[in-house]
Amino acid sequence: MKHDLFSPDPTPTAEIERIEAAYAPLTDAVRKLIDATIRSTITDEATLADAAAQITAITEKLASEQLPGAAGVHFNDEGRVWNWGNTVVGQRNAVAPPLRSEHRADGVHAQVSLGAAYEGPPGLVHGGVTALLLDQVMGQAAADRRRVLMTGTLKLRYRRGTPLGDLRLRAWIESESGRKVRVRAGIYDADGLTVEAEGLFIEPRMPDAGA
Protein backbone atom coordinates (compact mmCIF):
# COMPACT_ATOMS: atom_id res chain seq x y z
CA MET A 1 0.00 0.00 0.00
CA LYS A 2 2.83 2.40 0.84
CA HIS A 3 3.87 4.66 -2.01
CA ASP A 4 5.01 8.19 -2.52
CA LEU A 5 2.03 10.33 -1.59
CA PHE A 6 3.32 13.87 -1.42
CA SER A 7 6.59 14.23 -3.23
CA PRO A 8 7.62 16.08 -6.37
CA ASP A 9 6.44 14.38 -9.58
CA PRO A 10 8.30 14.85 -12.88
CA THR A 11 5.17 14.75 -15.09
CA PRO A 12 4.95 17.98 -17.13
CA THR A 13 1.85 20.15 -16.78
CA ALA A 14 0.84 19.57 -20.41
CA GLU A 15 0.70 15.81 -19.80
CA ILE A 16 -1.26 16.27 -16.54
CA GLU A 17 -3.79 18.35 -18.47
CA ARG A 18 -4.03 15.76 -21.25
CA ILE A 19 -4.75 13.04 -18.67
CA GLU A 20 -7.32 15.21 -16.85
CA ALA A 21 -9.10 15.94 -20.14
CA ALA A 22 -9.10 12.22 -21.05
CA TYR A 23 -10.58 11.24 -17.67
CA ALA A 24 -13.18 14.05 -17.47
CA PRO A 25 -15.87 12.32 -19.63
CA LEU A 26 -15.24 8.98 -17.84
CA THR A 27 -15.57 10.54 -14.38
CA ASP A 28 -18.73 12.34 -15.42
CA ALA A 29 -20.17 9.12 -16.86
CA VAL A 30 -19.49 7.32 -13.55
CA ARG A 31 -21.19 10.16 -11.68
CA LYS A 32 -24.33 9.74 -13.81
CA LEU A 33 -24.20 5.97 -13.25
CA ILE A 34 -24.16 6.51 -9.46
CA ASP A 35 -27.30 8.64 -9.84
CA ALA A 36 -29.07 6.09 -12.05
CA THR A 37 -28.22 3.24 -9.64
CA ILE A 38 -30.15 5.11 -6.95
CA ARG A 39 -33.06 6.39 -9.05
CA SER A 40 -33.78 3.53 -11.46
CA THR A 41 -37.14 1.84 -11.00
CA ILE A 42 -36.03 -1.25 -12.94
CA THR A 43 -36.22 -4.23 -10.60
CA ASP A 44 -35.70 -7.07 -13.06
CA GLU A 45 -32.87 -9.19 -11.65
CA ALA A 46 -31.38 -10.24 -15.00
CA THR A 47 -31.11 -6.64 -16.24
CA LEU A 48 -29.42 -5.53 -13.02
CA ALA A 49 -27.04 -8.51 -12.96
CA ASP A 50 -26.11 -7.82 -16.58
CA ALA A 51 -25.35 -4.17 -15.78
CA ALA A 52 -23.19 -5.24 -12.81
CA ALA A 53 -21.27 -7.72 -14.98
CA GLN A 54 -20.60 -5.11 -17.69
CA ILE A 55 -19.40 -2.59 -15.09
CA THR A 56 -17.11 -5.18 -13.51
CA ALA A 57 -15.53 -5.86 -16.91
CA ILE A 58 -14.87 -2.13 -17.43
CA THR A 59 -13.39 -1.88 -13.92
CA GLU A 60 -11.09 -4.86 -14.56
CA LYS A 61 -9.79 -3.18 -17.69
CA LEU A 62 -9.13 0.13 -15.91
CA ALA A 63 -7.63 -1.57 -12.84
CA SER A 64 -5.32 -3.78 -14.92
CA GLU A 65 -2.74 -0.99 -14.53
CA GLN A 66 -3.21 1.04 -11.38
CA LEU A 67 -1.61 2.73 -8.37
CA PRO A 68 -1.06 0.45 -5.36
CA GLY A 69 -3.06 2.79 -3.09
CA ALA A 70 -4.76 6.19 -2.96
CA ALA A 71 -3.90 8.88 -5.51
CA GLY A 72 -2.23 11.32 -3.11
CA VAL A 73 -1.35 14.95 -3.80
CA HIS A 74 1.34 15.70 -6.36
CA PHE A 75 3.18 18.73 -7.67
CA ASN A 76 5.68 19.28 -10.46
CA ASP A 77 8.47 21.81 -10.96
CA GLU A 78 6.12 24.06 -12.98
CA GLY A 79 4.13 24.61 -9.75
CA ARG A 80 1.16 22.53 -10.93
CA VAL A 81 -0.58 20.61 -8.11
CA TRP A 82 -3.01 17.72 -8.69
CA ASN A 83 -5.04 15.67 -6.19
CA TRP A 84 -7.23 13.52 -8.41
CA GLY A 85 -8.78 11.50 -5.57
CA ASN A 86 -9.93 14.37 -3.32
CA THR A 87 -13.49 13.61 -2.16
CA VAL A 88 -14.82 17.10 -2.96
CA VAL A 89 -12.67 18.48 -5.77
CA GLY A 90 -10.77 15.48 -7.16
CA GLN A 91 -10.86 15.63 -10.97
CA ARG A 92 -11.06 11.83 -11.28
CA ASN A 93 -13.28 11.17 -8.24
CA ALA A 94 -16.93 10.53 -9.18
CA VAL A 95 -17.88 10.93 -5.50
CA ALA A 96 -16.97 14.63 -5.86
CA PRO A 97 -20.22 16.45 -6.83
CA PRO A 98 -18.00 18.25 -8.25
CA LEU A 99 -17.57 21.59 -6.53
CA ARG A 100 -16.30 24.54 -8.54
CA SER A 101 -14.50 27.25 -6.56
CA GLU A 102 -12.50 30.39 -7.07
CA HIS A 103 -10.32 32.54 -4.86
CA ARG A 104 -11.30 36.22 -4.77
CA ALA A 105 -10.08 39.12 -2.63
CA ASP A 106 -12.79 38.35 -0.05
CA GLY A 107 -12.17 34.60 0.15
CA VAL A 108 -13.35 31.46 -1.61
CA HIS A 109 -16.61 31.41 -3.59
CA ALA A 110 -17.94 28.03 -4.70
CA GLN A 111 -20.89 26.52 -6.54
CA VAL A 112 -22.23 23.00 -6.49
CA SER A 113 -25.31 21.18 -7.69
CA LEU A 114 -26.32 18.22 -5.52
CA GLY A 115 -28.44 15.33 -6.76
CA ALA A 116 -29.85 12.08 -5.36
CA ALA A 117 -26.49 10.77 -4.10
CA TYR A 118 -26.19 13.55 -1.51
CA GLU A 119 -29.52 13.04 0.26
CA GLY A 120 -30.03 12.63 4.00
CA PRO A 121 -33.53 13.65 5.17
CA PRO A 122 -36.10 13.36 2.34
CA GLY A 123 -35.35 15.92 -0.39
CA LEU A 124 -32.63 17.55 1.69
CA VAL A 125 -28.85 17.45 1.60
CA HIS A 126 -27.31 15.06 4.16
CA GLY A 127 -26.17 17.16 7.14
CA GLY A 128 -22.76 15.51 6.89
CA VAL A 129 -22.44 16.44 3.21
CA THR A 130 -22.83 20.14 4.04
CA ALA A 131 -20.03 19.60 6.61
CA LEU A 132 -17.89 17.88 3.96
CA LEU A 133 -18.30 20.73 1.46
CA LEU A 134 -17.78 23.44 4.08
CA ASP A 135 -14.59 21.77 5.37
CA GLN A 136 -13.20 21.74 1.83
CA VAL A 137 -13.89 25.42 1.01
CA MET A 138 -12.77 26.51 4.50
CA GLY A 139 -9.52 24.58 4.06
CA GLN A 140 -9.01 26.28 0.68
CA ALA A 141 -9.68 29.73 2.18
CA ALA A 142 -7.25 29.05 5.03
CA ALA A 143 -4.57 27.69 2.70
CA ASP A 144 -4.86 30.84 0.58
CA ARG A 145 -3.01 29.13 -2.31
CA ARG A 146 0.30 29.42 -0.44
CA ARG A 147 0.45 26.88 2.42
CA VAL A 148 -0.69 23.43 3.52
CA LEU A 149 -3.05 23.26 6.50
CA MET A 150 -4.96 20.63 8.46
CA THR A 151 -8.41 21.00 10.03
CA GLY A 152 -8.10 21.56 13.80
CA THR A 153 -11.68 22.21 14.86
CA LEU A 154 -14.92 22.66 12.95
CA LYS A 155 -18.22 24.01 14.31
CA LEU A 156 -21.40 23.89 12.25
CA ARG A 157 -24.75 25.49 12.98
CA TYR A 158 -27.68 24.17 10.95
CA ARG A 159 -30.16 27.03 10.51
CA ARG A 160 -32.59 25.01 8.38
CA GLY A 161 -32.61 22.07 5.99
CA THR A 162 -30.51 22.53 2.84
CA PRO A 163 -32.50 21.51 -0.26
CA LEU A 164 -30.93 19.33 -2.97
CA GLY A 165 -30.16 21.32 -6.14
CA ASP A 166 -28.02 24.40 -6.78
CA LEU A 167 -26.08 25.79 -3.84
CA ARG A 168 -23.41 28.41 -3.23
CA LEU A 169 -20.68 28.41 -0.60
CA ARG A 170 -18.42 31.13 0.75
CA ALA A 171 -15.45 30.89 3.11
CA TRP A 172 -13.12 33.60 4.35
CA ILE A 173 -10.27 34.09 6.81
CA GLU A 174 -11.42 35.80 9.99
CA SER A 175 -8.04 36.01 11.73
CA GLU A 176 -4.54 34.54 11.72
CA SER A 177 -2.09 34.02 14.55
CA GLY A 178 1.16 32.11 14.09
CA ARG A 179 0.34 28.69 12.64
CA LYS A 180 -3.40 29.06 13.37
CA VAL A 181 -5.96 30.41 10.89
CA ARG A 182 -9.59 31.06 11.87
CA VAL A 183 -12.09 30.73 9.04
CA ARG A 184 -15.84 31.39 8.74
CA ALA A 185 -18.11 30.01 6.04
CA GLY A 186 -21.67 29.51 4.93
CA ILE A 187 -23.74 27.45 2.52
CA TYR A 188 -26.63 29.17 0.75
CA ASP A 189 -29.64 28.21 -1.33
CA ALA A 190 -31.77 30.65 -3.35
CA ASP A 191 -33.35 31.91 -0.10
CA GLY A 192 -30.10 32.49 1.78
CA LEU A 193 -27.98 30.88 4.50
CA THR A 194 -28.77 27.29 5.53
CA VAL A 195 -25.62 26.21 7.43
CA GLU A 196 -22.92 28.42 8.95
CA ALA A 197 -19.51 27.27 10.08
CA GLU A 198 -16.36 28.36 11.84
CA GLY A 199 -13.12 26.46 11.91
CA LEU A 200 -9.57 26.54 13.12
CA PHE A 201 -6.97 25.38 10.59
CA ILE A 202 -3.40 24.62 11.59
CA GLU A 203 -0.16 24.71 9.60
CA PRO A 204 1.75 21.53 10.53
CA ARG A 205 5.38 21.87 11.59
CA MET A 206 7.40 20.71 8.59
CA PRO A 207 10.62 18.74 9.12
CA ASP A 208 13.67 21.01 8.95
CA ALA A 209 15.21 20.34 5.54
CA GLY A 210 18.66 21.32 6.84
CA ALA A 211 18.59 18.99 9.87
Of residues 101-130, which lie at the interface with a second copy (CB under 8 A)? 115-123, 126-129
Does residue 55 touch a second copy according to CB under 8 A? yes
The single residue among 49, 111, 166, 179 that binds a second copy, judged by CB under 8 A, is 49
From residue 70, give the alpha-carbon distance in Å to each of 1, 39, 109.
Answer: 8, 29, 28
In angstroms, rounded to a whole number, what is the distance separating the alpha carbons of residues 54 and 56? 5
In angstroms, rounded to a whole number, what is the distance separating the alpha carbons of residues 45 and 53? 12
User: DSSP character for 125?
Assistant: B
In whole angstroms, the minimum distance from the beta carbon of 105 to a second copy comes to: 25
Does residue 14 touch a second copy according to CB under 8 A? no
Of residues 148-177, which lie at the interface with a second copy (CB under 8 A)? 148, 150-158, 161, 164
Does residue 6 touch a second copy according to CB under 8 A? yes
Does residue 39 touch a second copy according to CB under 8 A? yes
The single residue among 8, 10, 65, 102 that binds a second copy, judged by CB under 8 A, is 65
